[in-house]
Amino acid sequence: MIIARSVSELRSALDTCKGGIGFVPTMGALHIGHRTLIDAARKENECVVVSIFVNPTQFLPGEDLSKYPRKEEADFKICELSGVDILFYPDVSAMYGEDEVRICAPDIRGYILEGTSRPGHFDGVLTVVMKLLNMVRPSRVYFGKKDAQQLALITQMCQNFFMNIEIVPMETVRESDGLALSSRNAYLNPIERQEALKLSAALKCATKMLMQGNTKSTEIKGAMEAILEPLDVEYVAVVNRAFELIDEVVIGDTIVLVAARVGMTRLIDNVWM
């Protein structure tokens, strides 16, 4: 595995790639969810590139940028063992200069739900993803469905900017008790971890209601809110794949989402219907 820390090192490393590139952008603290993305990239492409970069522009002031888990040694090992060809591990100065052009998230889809709770977050995500895609020039890029709004906006950006890249959405990986894997789960103490199960329990309830024939968003949201009640809930929402709020679930075109704080930790989860 080649470790590239600068853009020029990355370019030289990419020169050694023969065939299509599968790319997995990450912020590190890699877990089984990331492994699933890397494994898919390994199966479907000649060359696999992973980036690890805790992107400062997608954190709002007061968020967890400084304490975001950083696990360089373990992450390098995971990449190596997963058959990654190139690991791009830049620092902030390799990625950003002064007074730069930024990508702006769209006015509506970029500023509902996560965008309301974290205004400006998606500008930072889209900007860094645009930079990374331009540097790596992959044929395919892999993202988890857990960050559903991020996935929708990146897909839209690639369409709007006529970028010829296949975006591969991957299923959320869960612990056996239903907790969606996230690098931020590391912040949870044992009691909070137990509380966090309410997110997946609420989503399970939504699926069950739908299976029983209830497609009304307000009723599904109401039942979910009752389960989530003791938590500090930021939103429960029912949207279509284009991230428009909808009143009725349409099977094959619906995502039910939740964001809540458990103690000091903000968690998100969703189910695609």
Which residue, among 19, 76, 32, has the nearest Cα to 52 in the 3D structure? 76
Q: How many CB atoms lie within 10 A of CB 9?
A: 17
Rounded distance, CA 90 to CA 29, Å?
Answer: 15
Sign of CA dihedral 50, 56, 60, 62: positive
The answer to whether 268 contacts ligand PAF (rule: CB under 6 A) is no
Identify which range of 14-22, 122-130, 191-199, 236-244 contacts ligand PAF by CB under 6 A: 122-130
Taking CB under 6 A as the criterion, the residue among 128, 158, 170, 236 binding ligand PAF is 128
Q: Least CB distance from residue 159 to ligand PAF, whole Å? A: 17
Let me know if 31 is a catalytic residue.
no
Contact string (CB under 6 A) for ligand PAF, positions 57-96, x = contact = -x--------------------------------------
Q: Least CB distance from residue 26 to ligand PAF, whole Å? A: 5
Question: Do the beta carbons of residue 34 and residue 74 sit within 8 Å?
Answer: no
The answer to whether 260 contacts ligand PAF (rule: CB under 6 A) is no
The answer to whether 36 contacts ligand PAF (rule: CB under 6 A) is no
Pairing of strands 265-272, 254-262: antiparallel
Taking CB under 6 A as the criterion, the residue among 10, 17, 26, 258 binding ligand PAF is 26
Active-site position among 21, 26, 34, 270: 34
Q: In the complex with ligand PAF, which residue's Cβ is closer, 129 or 206?
A: 129
Question: CB neighbours of 15 closer than 8 A, spacing ≥ 6?
Answer: none
**Site residues for ligand PAF, window 144-203 (CB under 6 A)?**
147, 150
Rounded distance, CA 216 to CA 202, Å?
Answer: 15
Please return the burial class of 3, using the count of CB atoms within 10 Å of its CB with bins 0-12, 13-18 and 19+: middle
Structure tokens at 176: 């056996």
Residue type (1 letter), 90: P
**Site residues for ligand PAF, window 41-60 (CB under 6 A)?**
55, 58
Residue 258, classed as helix, strand or coil, is: strand
The site that binds ligand PAF (CB under 6 A) totals a number of residues, namely 10
Element (DSSP H or E) covering residue 49: strand 47-52
Q: In the complex with ligand PAF, which residue's Cβ is closer, 85 or 147?
A: 147
Q: In the complex with ligand PAF, which residue's Cβ is closer, 199 or 220?
A: 199
Rounded distance, CA 44 to CA 21, Å?
Answer: 9
The answer to whether 25 contacts ligand PAF (rule: CB under 6 A) is yes
Question: Do the beta carbons of residue 49 and residue 137 sit within 8 Å?
Answer: no
Q: In the complex with ligand PAF, which residue's Cβ is closer, 65 or 205?
A: 65
Q: Name the residues annotated as catalytic.
A: 34
Binding site for ligand PAF (CB under 6 A): 25-27, 55, 58, 125, 128-129, 147, 150
